[in-house]
Amino acid sequence: MDFSIARRLMVEQQIVRRGVKDPRVIQAMLRVPRHLFVEEALWSQAYSDFPLPIGERQTISQPFMVAYMTEALQLTGTEKVLEIGTGSGYQAAVLAQLASRVYSVERLAELARRARRTLDQLACRNVNIKLSDGTIGWEDEAPFDGIMVTAGAPDIPSEYLDQLAIGGRLVIPVGNRTSQVLKRVIRVGLDRFSEENLLDCRFVPLVGQRGWKEEEV
């Protein structure tokens, strides 16, 4: 299988055709080898239009959703970005192409370890991974110009709002355990935020102190 051709078709058919326009996001999706972030047995499906399992009851998101959420952050290249839910590391690798620094929080040790190994293989040296409860963010490294949450939350944790820089963007799925609405929140002042709904989506639950409890999922 020629992965470069599969990647180009993925971008043309699943991403550009659905309205993603940012040329930097498109180039990042063309550069990052998605198949390396799943088991070898799934490589033939890595560029298909659906999520894939990565173990620990978690998934690597659908390619379109990765590109769409990334575009929603409106990155120019100088930003400091927080990702909640490292998972396979694929989203972090895409963000690493577009931001100055990426801080990613993962609660599951095995996923964090595998993601770090793959990111190192790809020389993504501007990605830092922390094993922690992602629902409380990463206070020591705040403020962030962008925060991306890759799991569905019952509501927006106040910690994310507190850790967002003025002018910064938060992209987060909010809803119940089976369906959510993707929201973008912009911090327009010290205590002022604007919020918009982007699209309906479905993510694994955000588990932790400010999210769903382990026994609820």
- What tokens does 74 get? 């409106």
Residue from 61, 104, 158, 179 carrying the catalytic annotation = 61
**What is the Cα–Cα distance from 86 to 167, expressed in whole angstroms?**
24
Q: Exposed, middle or buried, 2 (CB in 10 Å: 0-12/13-18/19+)?
A: exposed
Task: Give catalytic status of residue 194 as yes or no.
Answer: no
Q: Which of 10, 101, 87, 28 is nearest to 52 (CA)?
A: 87
191-200: long-range contacts at Cβ-Cβ below 8 A with a sequence spacing of 24 or more? 193/161, 198/68, 198/72, 198/171, 199/68
**What is the Cα–Cα distance from 214 to 59, expressed in whole angstroms?**
17
- Cis omega (within 30 of 0) for bond into 63: no
Catalytic residue IDs:
61
